[in-house]
Structure 1
Amino acid sequence: MINQNILSLKQSSTLLINEKVKELRVKGQEVSHFGFGQSPFPIHASIVAALRENAENNHYLPVAGLEKLREEIVLFLKKHQNIKTTKESVFIGPGSKELLYQSILIFDAEFLIPKGSWVSYIPQIQSKGGMYHVLETNFENDFKLTPEILDTFFKSEVVKKQTVLILNSPNNPSGAVYTKEEYKALAIACRKYNVVVFSDEIYSQINFSESYSPSISAYYPEKTIVFGGLSKVFSAGGYRLGYMILPNELQALQNVYKSLFSETFSCVSSPIQFAAIKAFEYHIDLQNYVATSAVILKNISEFIFKELSEVKIECTKSEGAFYMLIGFNLHKAAILKLGISSSFDLANYVLENYNFAMLPGVDFGFKKEELFFRIAFVDFNGEKVMNAYGHDKNIDTIFIKENAPNVFFGVEKIKTFIADLNS
């Protein structure tokens, strides 16, 4: 018999849409791919060189990770993320996604998921038969969690176990970034209700106004576990290397984590760990590279926000990462006339009829009738765009049309859909 918790899972929506778009493109269809969130920029040459230099290293490394790498991450976090920790508190795993999953397995808890959260949190909890609560957030606040929402939850729900809140900033799917003030207020609420926080900071340096994004661990250090990695900031999704940091009050879990790691993935690939040292050394060329990618993404997000807002599509204000939530709720009456009442059906309709791929909000904790969708604005050749930006620092509509045509014409397809709805 198959574990029923596993049997009920479906393939990750982000990976599924990516495969579907690839199939359509093989068939010759020009699909604008706003469904998959992978950094469009090439991995920096210094990291590739470090991987090449260590390609022959075939040794098993310590379960917690290479000591030199953990030391480098400690320095990186102190200097570039304002997080203080020790190498003993850092664990290396095959991607932050896996480390989050292992943490979900370890904690016998009820999990709190703000509406507008990454697609894999809930399925990971479901896979172990865990209990979760989706916390209601709203568009006016870019779907960010507030202390008032936590207060409402704890006053209305009988919680029988430890609670674990999963936060993500910069946020996938909204692009929102929590401010220091917002985190300070949330920290007070979390302390009041004795909440453990899993802080997913995988996009931290992809921030459109600062060199890094605030961390709730600065204000709630005793019970915040921080997660990060190579995939987004360093454009190295395929390298599959993440890290997590245990706070002081949870140091007793060190052996629990090591035991589970030793019985599952053992350790991350040796050459990848050595290459990651170069990434987390974060030399000035690499800092400039990441900063340039953030500037490009910021300008593309502003272009999309302006164009879609003009046709009465609700858009969250992206402040980091490479995502935006867009809503068609102001056009719901016309959409209902098409016989469509759910975000899943509308996503399929737009893909089949307008060759525009986006992910339905139902995958991110929204009710099926809420017509919100995540778009990832990375369907462009990052190397080409970066080179063009080096010659012309002005990213306007003409620049985007010439250098990121899939983004430009994708936006045009959505505008055409709206025009057709109202014709």
Structure 2
Amino acid sequence: MINQNILSLKQSSTLLINEKVKELRINGKEISHFGFGQSPFPIHTSIVAALKENAENNHYLPVAGLEKLREEIVLFLKKNQNIKTTKETIFIGPGSKELLYQSILIFDAEFLIPKGSWVSYIPQIQSKGGVYHILETNFENDFKLTADNLNAFFKNKAPKKQTVLILNSPNNPTGAVYTKEEYKALALACRKYNVVVFSDEIYSQINFSESYSPSISAFYPEKTIVFGGLSKVFSAGGYRLGYMMLPNELQALQNVYKSLFSETFSCVSSPIQFAAIKAFEYPTDLKKYVETSAAILKKISEFIFKELSEVKIECTKSEGAFYMLIGFNLHKAAILKLGISSSFDLANYVLENYNFAMLPGIDFGFKKEDFFFRIAFVDFDGENMMKTYQKNQNIDTNFIKENSPNIFNGVEKIKKFVIDLQC
């Protein structure tokens, strides 16, 4: 008999759309792929070199992770995210996704998910038969959770267990970044209701105006668990290495985490951990590399925002990561006339008729009738783009058309869809 909680899950939307687009392209379709969020830039050569140097290391490492790596992460957090901690609070796992999942398993809690959150939070909770609540957010605030939203929830609900709030900034799917002031207000509300926070900071250095994004742990250090890793900032999704930082007030959970890790993944691949040391040393050339990638992504996001806004597509303002939520609610009447009433059906319609791949809002905590969709603007040759950008840092429409044609053509396709709706 199969566990019904697991049986009810479907394949991750992001991975599923990636496979579907690959299949369509093999069959000759020219798909503009805005559905999958993987960094388009190559892994920095210094990290690759470190991996090669340690390829023969076949030893099991400590369950919590390589000591030298945890020490480097402590220094990285202090210098590059203004978070002070010690190596004893750091745990290494096979991606922040897995560390989040193991944390969800450990906490006997009710989980609070802001509307406009990463696709895997809810399925991970569902897999253990857990309870979750979608917290209301709004487009005008780029779907960021506010203290008022949190207060409204607790005013209307009486959770029976400890509550855990999962926050993500820079945000997937919106690209929004929480400010220090917003975090200060949220911290007060979290403290008032004794909320534990899982702070997913996997995109922290991919910030379009600063070298890193604020962390709620600076204002709510006692009960914030911070998650990060290699996949986004360092373009190393396939390396599968993440870290988490336990706050001082939750240090009693150290042995609980170690016990669960030891009975599941044991430890992260040895060569990968040694390579990660080089990443988290974050030397000047690597830091500049990350800053350049963020600068390119910023220009692309601004281009998309301008072009889509002109045809009355609602767009969140990306301030980091490589995502944007776009909405067709201003064209809802015309879409309903097509016989389409859900974001899932509209995503399929646009893919089949306009060769444009995007993910429906229902996967991110929205109601099925909300016509919001996540787009990831990474369908370009990152290596070539970076070389060209270093020669000419003026990214205008012609630059995007020449160096990221899939992005340019994709924007034209989705604009054509809107124009066709008006005919």
Q: Same fold (TM over 0.5)?
A: yes
* Cα deviation digits, residues 306-334 of structure 1 (max 9, x gap): 00000000000000000000000000000
Whole-angstrom CA distance in 2 between matches of 1:388 and 1:147: 43
Aligned to 1:360: 360
In structure 2, give the amino acid aligned to 1:376.
A
Whole-angstrom CA distance in 2 between matches of 1:150 and 1:107: 20
Aligned to 2:310: 310
* Cα deviation digits, residues 112-133 of structure 1 (max 9, x gap): 0000000000000000000000
In structure 2, give the amino acid aligned to 1:377.
F
Query: Aligned pair 1:149/2:159, yes or no?
Result: no
Aligned to 1:231: 231
For residue 346 of structure 1, give the secondary structure of its aligned residue in structure 2. Answer: helix
How many Å apart are 1:158 and its aligned residue?
1.5
* Cα deviation digits, residues 234-283 of structure 1 (max 9, x gap): 00000000000000000000000000000000000000000000000000
* Cα deviation digits, residues 219-244 of structure 1 (max 9, x gap): 00000000000000000000000000
Aligned to 1:29: 29
Whole-angstrom CA distance in 2 between matches of 1:137 and 1:158: 20
In structure 1, give the amino acid aligned to 2:87.
K
Whole-angstrom CA distance in 2 between matches of 1:257 and 1:393: 46
In structure 2, give the amino acid aligned to 1:360.
P
Query: Aligned pair 1:187/2:187, yes or no?
Result: yes
Whole-angstrom CA distance in 2 between matches of 1:258 and 1:159: 29
Could you state the TM-score of these two structures normalised by the residue count of structure 1?
1.00
In structure 2, give the amino acid aligned to 1:182.
E
Aligned to 1:409: 409
Aligned to 1:207: 207
Query: Aligned pair 1:255/2:255, yes or no?
Result: yes
Aligned to 1:175: 175
In structure 2, give the amino acid aligned to 1:209.
S
Aligned to 2:130: 130
For residue 92 of structure 1, give the secondary structure of its aligned residue in structure 2. Answer: strand
Whole-angstrom CA distance in 1 between matches of 2:75 and 2:95: 20
In structure 2, give the amino acid aligned to 1:102.
Q
Whole-angstrom CA distance in 2 between matches of 1:391 and 1:89: 43
In structure 1, give the amino acid aligned to 2:389.
Y
The runs of 5 or more residues in structure 2 that have no matched partner are none
In structure 1, give the amino acid aligned to 2:280.
F
Aligned to 1:107: 107
How many Å apart are 1:404 and its aligned residue?
0.2
Whole-angstrom CA distance in 1 between matches of 2:332 and 2:155: 34
In structure 1, give the amino acid aligned to 2:222.
E
Whole-angstrom CA distance in 2 between matches of 1:419 and 1:225: 46
Whole-angstrom CA distance in 2 between matches of 1:399 and 1:274: 38
Aligned to 2:18: 18
In structure 1, give the amino acid aligned to 2:292.
T
- Residues 298-377 of structure 1 mapped to structure 2, 5 A cutoff: 298-377=298-377
In structure 1, give the amino acid aligned to 2:17.
I
CA RMSD of aligned residues (A): 0.3
Whole-angstrom CA distance in 1 between matches of 2:130 and 2:59: 36
Aligned to 1:245: 245
Whole-angstrom CA distance in 1 between matches of 2:147 and 2:158: 18
Could you state the TM-score of these two structures normalised by the residue count of structure 2?
1.00
In structure 2, give the amino acid aligned to 1:66.
L
